[in-house]
Amino acid sequence: MSPTSSPAARDAVPFIVTNARLVLPNEVVRGTIVLRAGLIAEVDHALSRAPGALDLAGDFLIPGLIDLHTDNLERHYQPRSGVEWDAVSAAISHDTQVAGSGITTVYDSLTLGAASGWDMRDETIGPIMEGLRTAIGHDMLRVQHLLHMRCEVTHPDIVPIFEAHAHDPLVRFMSLMDHAPGDRQSPDAVDYRRRYLKVFEGDEAAVDRHIAELMHGSKVLGPDNRRRLARIAAERRLACASHDDARREHIEEARDLGITVSEFPTTLEAAEAAHEVGIKVLMGAPNLIRGRSHSGNVAAALLAGRNRLDILSSDYIPASLLPGAFRLAHDDLGWSLPRALATVTSTPAATAGLDDRGRLEQGLRADLVRVQIVQNRPVVRAVWSGGTRVM
């Protein structure tokens, strides 16, 4: 083997990307990025004439997107109600969709403490996690996957259920949820009952048991479970979010527990209160693009217009994240493109404690996305994860 063909030698050879519109933290400049050994070695505001440099012809070059919440892995594992797919294949197909959306770091959200009538069940968590670990261990995936554990605090055993998975190094994020009707995501208890009558195929007794289970859990178990889980998150240095905050009291409780993210607040009141105490507001990109919440709660665009939006997640559509960020810059909201893209790059990175990515800066991971604007739509043309082109 010649010296120049060794892995170390290959890592030492720079890869140059030039004639790109670089979206930097505070400006957009036409320039050059030099990659070496999986990192950004140089950021140059000039064009390169080096032989072999990749000319992006003026397309945007942005940091790889960071998605703190997507239910997409669960959906690939269970593509239809009652149908469970091979977990490794589910991880691979999910990863392909995520990478193709320009996401280079994804927090796959898994539901713990599921109530009766929900599609996802606690017994599916083990196979999903094992499938993901297998895919990662055999180098089947294109981008980095971490886990976001969504803990339903109404469940009587939610603390031991979480603790059974807490040792896994992939577990890096926790959110605390309470889906009892009458508050948060479902303030209209009558409408909630009507919807779940369809889920339980008209079985009124089953719906009543389901609602009673959630209501009891919320009032009797929820407060203590919330405190215990928040304490575990602090001890393990996990980023922690409060889910579906609706009132100022929810935010004040979250603040007292050391929570740093309000995930999908349902009202302007909650988002305003989060802003006041320094809690980041995370909203779904599908909400922003559609112009409204699918469940009738506050619109992400309203929060953006009032400067009460910090982070976008893909929620249930990975392909929504990049268009969502560009929508912030193109709608009449007064956002610059660097600020808009920060909602899907640098801000989620900092919030999750990832200090090695999220910006086009020397020394950071070379997670990059080439974006071309076609008919006013941002289109992913290439993706690099850790300096390796994966799409």
The DSSP bridge partners found for residue 382 are 370
Q: Tell me the pLDDT of the chain (391 aa) as tens digits.
A: 333 344 444 457 899 999 999 999 999 999 999 999 999 999 999 999 999 999 999 999 999 999 999 999 999 999 988 888 999 999 999 999 999 999 999 999 999 998 876 766 778 899 999 999 999 999 999 999 999 999 999 999 999 999 999 999 999 999 999 998 988 988 888 888 888 888 888 889 988 898 999 999 999 999 999 999 999 999 999 999 999 999 999 999 999 999 999 999 999 999 999 999 999 999 999 999 998 777 778 999 999 999 999 999 999 999 999 999 999 998 788 899 999 999 999 999 999 999 999 999 999 999 999 999 999 999 999 999 999 999 9
The answer to whether 125 touches 165, Cβ cutoff 8 Å, is yes
User: Could you give the C-alpha distances from 4 to 1, 14, 17, 41, in angstroms and in order?
Assistant: 8, 13, 22, 20
pLDDT at 239: 95
Residue with tokens 């660097």: 338
CA 193 to chain centroid: 30
Helices vs strands, H then E, count in the chain: 15, 16
Look up residue 315 and give its DSSP letter.
Answer: B
pLDDT at 114: 85
Token readout for 146 is 């971490």
pLDDT at 122: 72
The DSSP bridge partners found for residue 389 are 384
The answer to whether 323 touches 289, Cβ cutoff 8 Å, is yes
User: Could you give the C-alpha distances from 24 to 27, 119, 357, in angstroms and in order?
Assistant: 5, 42, 13
The DSSP bridge partners found for residue 39 are 36, 365
The C-alpha torsion from 76 through 78 and 80 to 81, rounded to 10°, is -160
CATH architecture of 64-177+229-355: Alpha-Beta Barrel (3.20)
Angle at 170 between CA 165 and CA 173, to 5 degrees: 80
Q: Checking DSSP bridges between strand 15-23 and strand 60-63, what pairing results, if any?
A: parallel
pLDDT at 116: 77
204-240 burial by CB neighbour count: b if 16+ within 10 A, else e? eebbeebbebbbebbeebbeebbeebbebbeeeebbb
- Give the 3-state secondary structure of residue 345: coil
pLDDT at 172: 97
Alpha helices in the chain (DSSP H): 7-12, 72-77, 87-100, 125-137, 158-163, 189-199, 204-216, 222-236, 248-256, 268-277, 285-290, 300-305, 321-330, 337-342, 346-351
CA 112 to chain centroid: 17
